[in-house]
Amino acid sequence: MSGRDSSGRFASNAGIPSEQDKSEGSFLLLKLRRRYPAVAAAFLAIFFLFSFTSLIEWNSDEDWQVCQYIDGSYRIVDQAGFYFQWYGEVWTYPKFLDIYYSDTEQNGAKKSPEEDTSIRVTFSDAGTGFTSHYIRLQILPTTEQKRMEFHRHFAETGIEGVNHMVEQHLTTCVKNSGPLMSASEYHAQRRAEYYQLVREQLEQGLYRMEVVEQDVEMEVPDRSMHQFSQSDTETVYQTRVALDAEKQPIQVFPSPIVEYGFEVKQYSITNTTYDEQTQTQLDARRESYQLAEQAKAGVVKEKQKVFSVVEAGKAAVALVESNENQKLKHATVTATQGVEVEQQVQEEEVAVAGQLLTTAEQKLLETEQLLALSAIKLESAEFEAREMISQAEATRAKLEKGGAVAEIDELRAEMRKKRMTALANLAKLPSPKTVIISGSQNGNAGQGVATTDALMQLFLLQQVEKQKPSAN
């Protein structure tokens, strides 16, 4: 089995018997076998028991090994299980390596200055900080050539050599990225940018940095106005990553992680502490920022008060307007309802008047028809009366001519003549100018007509009585 010496390095010949030991052992075994067979068998069993560890080797699934045989050939083993070592030498490396560079222990305890492994960084404003990092590194190169190259470089130093190599490269990346920003910028807003830049250089290679001039417009106080009303331009020097024609960072040195075929599985900047002067500046800036924020909050609070007063006034005006609108709406509705009622009453009166007018027109039409019928009857009566008078006169003339008419017939003829004469005189009377029409509420005019006929008959009888000759 492989072993390490007192310095921590891997032993190159641990557990491997030399050629001289092998020859002396064979001679002793042959001599013992001839004289003491039982002792020889026991000694042979013990010899194979102790040499078994140099014949068979075990590899864990978390590790990979390089086995170099006695003839100088080698074998790379990355599978778990037993395999034949054949008295060769074996080096074991883990597939994954967790590396911490920090000023605190994993349990949170502060390390002593001698054990502090945090990396110092200097920013553009000369502020300094101590950054703590964690890296999970896969140190299983993908090709056999890369694995043997790694083995040749780290066979003597082992994992400590890998740790030291990664620490040196990470320190260069951290220091190379510091001048791109000030301590306050890193602390306040550009920490993610800083982390991204360090990781890219850790995995790919160091970037070239360049210093450029930049004109910055700054406000200066106007002494006459006692305010910042003027502006001035100041030239500052800033550090930035140099880019090629395709706007890609220019690499000056490749990353050893890429050279050895490693892969960064996880990286993080866990903590950053600052020196006293830088921390004082950050505290002052934080206090000024907090005061500015408090002033802003006070302004916002006052604005909210003004806004509340304005909104309260608007609410009061809206309430008054709402009440007045309600009153106006009530008055409008009441007036509208009164107009509608008056219109309805007028419409009903117009309807009643229309009905009365229609009824009167119908009664007038009926009266006119009755008057026309009465005129026709009077004309008929007059015509009959003239005819009867003519017949009576003819009869009388005939009787007078014949002389054979009896006295009674003469009397009857005289009476008929008088009656006809009365009827003729009655026909000459004027028609009545006033007609009394009386009807029921349901429009029945029969009763009115009967009354009119009765009055006309009475009128006619009165006229007849006036036309009768007196007794003398």
What is the layout of strands, in order, in the sheet containing 89-94? 74-77, 63-68, 89-94
Measured CA to CA in angstroms, residue 192 lies from 131, 181, 239, 268, 393 at distances of 14, 12, 18, 10, 153
Confidence at residue 13, expressed as pLDDT on a 0 to 100 scale = 40
What is the arithmetic mean of pLDDT over 53-69? 84
Confidence at residue 338, expressed as pLDDT on a 0 to 100 scale = 82
Q: Identify whether residues 20 and 158 lie together within a single domain.
A: no
pLDDT band at 299 (very low <50, low <70, confident <90, very high): confident
pLDDT band at 330 (very low <50, low <70, confident <90, very high): confident
Q: Identify whether residues 270 and 357 lie together within a single domain.
A: no
Q: Are strands 128-138 and 81-84 parallel, antiparallel or unpaired?
A: unpaired
- Which of 140-145's residues contact partners 24+ apart within 8 Å by CB, and which partners? 140/64, 140/78, 140/95, 140/96, 141/260, 141/261, 141/262, 142/261, 143/261, 144/76
Instruction: Give the predicted TM-score (pTM) of the model.
Output: 0.51
Locate tokens 């004082």: which residue?
Answer: 280
Give the chain's domain count.
3
Three-state DSSP class for residue 429 = coil
Weakest mean pLDDT among 11-15, 231-235, 269-273, 352-356: 11-15
**Closest residue by Cα to residue 271 from 199, 191, 193, 206:** 191
C-beta atoms surrounding 19 within 10 Å: 7
Q: Is residue 240 part of a domain?
A: no
Print the domain residue range for 450. 297-467
Contact 137, 163 (CB under 8 A): no
Please provide the average confidence, as pLDDT, over all residues in the chain: 76
Q: Is residue 387 part of a domain?
A: yes
Query: Is a pLDDT exceeding 80 seen at residue 103?
Result: yes
Distance (Å, whole) CA 376 – CA 368: 12
Q: Identify whether residues 256 and 356 lie together within a single domain.
A: no
Query: Is a pLDDT exceeding 50 seen at residue 5?
Result: no
Residue-level length of the chain: 472
Measured CA to CA in angstroms, residue 74 lies from 66, 89, 99, 159 at distances of 7, 9, 29, 20
Q: Identify whether residues 261 and 181 lie together within a single domain.
A: yes
Q: Identify whether residues 126 and 53 lie together within a single domain.
A: no
Q: Identify whether residues 66 and 101 lie together within a single domain.
A: no
Contact 78, 91 (CB under 8 A): no
What is the arithmetic mean of pLDDT over 91-111? 85
CATH of the domain at 179: 3.30.479.30
Last residue in a domain, options 274, 309, 331: 274
Query: Is a pLDDT exceeding 70 seen at residue 204?
Result: yes
Query: Is a pLDDT exceeding 50 seen at residue 11?
Result: no
Q: Identify whether residues 81 and 113 lie together within a single domain.
A: no
Say which DSSP state 428 is in: T
Q: Identify whether residues 100 and 193 lie together within a single domain.
A: yes
Please list, in sequence order, all residues whose beta carbon lies within 8 angstroms of the beta carbon of residue 116, skipping any fewer than 6 positions away: 103, 130
Q: Identify whether residues 80 and 116 lie together within a single domain.
A: no
Measured CA to CA in angstroms, residue 405 lies from 390, 391, 408, 418 at distances of 18, 15, 8, 19
Q: Is residue 220 part of a domain?
A: no
Q: How many contiguous H segments (helices) and E segments (strands) does the chain have?
A: 10, 13
Q: Identify whether residues 68 and 123 lie together within a single domain.
A: no
Last residue in a domain, options 43, 60, 91: 91
Q: Identify whether residues 308 and 452 lie together within a single domain.
A: yes
What is the percentage of the chain residues whose pLDDT exceeds 90?
11
More confident residue, 240 or 30: 240
Q: Identify whether residues 423 and 301 lie together within a single domain.
A: yes
- Taking only the tens place, the pLDDT of each residue in 446-459 is 555 555 565 565 66
Last residue in a domain, options 74, 91, 108: 91
Confidence at residue 39, expressed as pLDDT on a 0 to 100 scale = 61
